[in-house]
């Protein structure tokens, strides 16, 4: 236990757990979200310690930054009504506390029994890296070995925007684009993060043609700032273009996956000579779709003619 980094890990781990408790216990909802953002950033830091920079980036940009923005804009929308204090019976709390304690105990026992630092699929990935068409292992898994998963993940994102556009409609007021203190508070948090993440992505791009999701998130952040600063206002006339942006990634990804399947090849089997180009093309289109979709998820509602007048008061 002389390694100072291990002490750092212990402190970081404890801080993360404490923050998780604090997020749920914090009475004020704004403070709750801010604590959650701190929690997310510390988790990302822990993942850097576990040599998972790609994951840390995705968590910081998407899981924390954009999720935090979504939470804040929702809070802004609903904060007119303070939460009604619904008393939870003490018995229910104790019972659930006991249940979750048991689950925690059981999972810890199970976790300690696993072969930590097992090789997993690292070896097959390394053996097939040559054939994958990319240099970065995580990108190879995402866009080649398990490309089907990644396609379905983009489909999830598409389902989300379809559902969100469907849900929010009618007479409700759109969230005000100018968000005052919340916006400024968030911008202070987010802007440096965007700069840092953007720079890192540029740097990492030199040897890893990866980061569709992280890149998309950074672009989405730009979209958020455009929306918040009213530099861009969604118009009903822009809907066809937006829809095209949402489906672009899925369509190109699925299209390429199917089109390569000829001459004895199966779907998703990129011809070796073109693998790199095709993956780059997919990544580019997916990045655009992710950026547009995430920004639209933040904006929330489908821009409709009926609600235009409301926005102009």
Partner 1 sequence: MNDLPTLDWPTAVVFAPLAGAILAFAWPRRAAGIGLASVLLTTAAVAALALRVLAEGAVVTRLGNWGAPLGIDLRADGLSTLLLAMTAGVGLFVSLGALDSYAPARADERTRRYFWPLWLLLLTGLNGAFLSTDVFNLYVMLEVIALAAVGLTVLGGGREAVRAGLEYMYASILGALLFLMGVGFVYLELGRLDFAGLIAAEPAPALTAALALMIAGLLLKTALFPLHFWLPGAHANATAPASALLSGLVVKVSLYIFLRLTQYMPLPDELLVTLMGTLGAGAILWGGIQALRAERLKLLVAWSTVVQIGLIFVAFARAGQVGLAESWKAAALLILAHAVAKAAMFLSAGRIKDEVGHDRIQDLDRSPIRPTLAQFTFALAAISLIGLPPSLGFAGKWVLMEGAMAAGYWHWVGITMIGTLLSVAYFSRVLAGFLRFDRLRTPVAEHQGWALADTAPLVLALAALSLGLVAAPILAFMEIGYPFGATP
Partner 2 sequence: MNSGLIFGLTGIAVFAIGLFGALVMVEPLRRVLALKLCSVGAGFLLVVGAWQAPPDMPDPVPHALVITGIVVMISATAVALALIRRLHSLERASDE
Contact residues toward partner 1 (CB under 8 A) are 106-107, 109-111, 113-116, 118-121, 124-125, 128, 144-149, 152-153, 155-156, 158-160, 162-163, 165-167, 169-170, 240, 243-244, 246-247, 250-251, 254, 257-258, 261-270
Residue 254 interaction partner, one of partner 2, partner 1, none, beta carbon < 5-8 Å per kind: partner 1
Residue 46 interaction partner, one of partner 1, partner 2, none, beta carbon < 5-8 Å per kind: partner 2
Instruction: Report the nearest approach of partner 1 to the CB of residue 206 (Å).
Output: 27
Instruction: Report the nearest approach of partner 1 to the CB of residue 38 (Å).
Output: 22
Instruction: Please identify, using beta-carbon distances, which residue of 180 and 240 lies nearer to partner 1.
Output: 240
Residue 268 interaction partner, one of partner 2, partner 1, none, beta carbon < 5-8 Å per kind: partner 1
Instruction: Report the nearest approach of partner 2 to the CB of residue 270 (Å).
Output: 17
Instruction: Please identify, using beta-carbon distances, which residue of 205 and 255 lies nearer to partner 1.
Output: 255
Instruction: Please identify, using beta-carbon distances, which residue of 9 and 269 lies nearer to partner 2.
Output: 9
Strand ranges for the chain from DSSP E: none
Give the Å distances, CA to CA, from 285 to 127, 237, 307. 28, 23, 31
Instruction: Please identify, using beta-carbon distances, which residue of 122 and 202 lies nearer to partner 1.
Output: 122
Instruction: Please identify, using beta-carbon distances, which residue of 20 and 281 lies nearer to partner 2.
Output: 20
Question: 273: number of CA atoms within 13 Å, CB side?
Answer: 0
Lookup: tokens for 15: 């801080």
Instruction: Please identify, using beta-carbon distances, which residue of 190 and 307 lies nearer to partner 1.
Output: 307
Beta carbons within 8 Å of 155's beta carbon, 6+ residues apart: 250
Instruction: Report the nearest approach of partner 1 to the CB of residue 256 (Å).
Output: 12
Can you list the pairs that 40-47 forms with residues at least 24 positions away whose Cβ atoms lie under 8 Å?
Answer: 40/64, 40/65, 40/67, 40/68, 42/12, 42/15, 42/16, 43/16, 45/12, 46/9, 46/12, 46/13, 46/16
Task: Count CB neighbours of 57 within 10 A.
Answer: 24
Residue 203 interaction partner, one of partner 1, partner 2, none, beta carbon < 5-8 Å per kind: none
Instruction: Please name the helix (run of DSSP H) or strand (run of DSSP E) that holds residue 5, with its range, or none.
Output: helix 4-25
Instruction: Please identify, using beta-carbon distances, which residue of 87 and 262 lies nearer to partner 2.
Output: 87
Instruction: Report the nearest approach of partner 2 to the CB of residue 264 (Å).
Output: 27
Lookup: tokens for 192: 């440096």
Residue 147 interaction partner, one of partner 1, partner 2, none, beta carbon < 5-8 Å per kind: partner 1
Q: How many angstroms separate the CA atoms of 219 and 230, rounded?
A: 17
Beta carbons within 8 Å of 69's beta carbon, 6+ residues apart: 186, 190, 224, 298
Instruction: Please identify, using beta-carbon distances, which residue of 79 and 262 lies nearer to partner 2.
Output: 79
Residue 36 interaction partner, one of partner 1, partner 2, none, beta carbon < 5-8 Å per kind: partner 2
Task: Count CB neighbours of 72 within 10 A.
Answer: 22
String of DSSP letters for 282-303? HHHHHHHHHHHHHHHHHH-SPP
Residue 128 interaction partner, one of partner 2, partner 1, none, beta carbon < 5-8 Å per kind: partner 1
Instruction: Report the nearest approach of partner 1 to the CB of residue 24 (Å).
Output: 15
Instruction: Report the nearest approach of partner 2 to the CB of residue 311 (Å).
Output: 15
Give the Å distances, CA to CA, from 152 to 130, 159, 271, 276. 25, 10, 22, 21
Instruction: Report the nearest approach of partner 2 to the CB of residue 273 (Å).
Output: 24
């Amino acid at each position: 236990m002389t390694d100072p980094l291990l002490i750092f890990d212990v402190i970081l781990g404890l801080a993360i757990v404490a923050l998780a408790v604090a997020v749920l216990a914090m009475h004020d909802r704004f403070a709750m979200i801010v604590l959650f953002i701190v929690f997310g950033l510390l988790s990302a830091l822990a993942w850097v310690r576990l040599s998972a920079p790609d994951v840390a980036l995705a968590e910081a940009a998407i899981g924390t930054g954009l999720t935090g923005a979504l939470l804040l804009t929702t809070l802004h929308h609903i904060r007119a009504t303070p939460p009604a204090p619904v008393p939870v019976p003490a018995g229910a709390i104790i019972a659930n506390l006991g249940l979750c304690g048991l689950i925690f105990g059981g999972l810890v026992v199970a976790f300690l029994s696993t072969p930590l630092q097992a090789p997993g699929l690292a070896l097959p990935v390394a053996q097939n890296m040559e054939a994958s068409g990319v240099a970065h292992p995580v990108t190879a898994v995402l866009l080649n070995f398990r490309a089907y998963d990644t396609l379905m993940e983009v489909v999830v994102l598409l389902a989300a925007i379809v559902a969100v556009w469907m849900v929010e409609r009618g007479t409700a007021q759109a969230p005000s684009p100018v968000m005052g203190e919340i916006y400024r508070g968030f911008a202070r948090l987010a802007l440096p993060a965007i700069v840092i993440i953007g720079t890192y992505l540029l740097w990492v791009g030199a040897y890893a043609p990866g980061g569709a999701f992280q890149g998309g998130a950074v672009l989405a952040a730009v979209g958020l700032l455009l929306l918040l600063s009213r530099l861009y206002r969604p118009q009903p006339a822009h809907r066809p273009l937006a829809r095209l942006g949402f489906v672009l990634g899925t369509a190109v990804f699925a299209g390429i996956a199917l089109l390569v399947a000829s001459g004895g090849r199966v779907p998703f089997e990129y011809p070796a000579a073109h693998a790199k180009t095709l993956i780059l093309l997919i990544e580019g289109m997916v990045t655009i779709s992710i950026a547009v979709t995430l920004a639209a998820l933040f904006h929330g509602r489908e821009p409709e003619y009926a609600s235009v007048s409301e926005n102009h008061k």
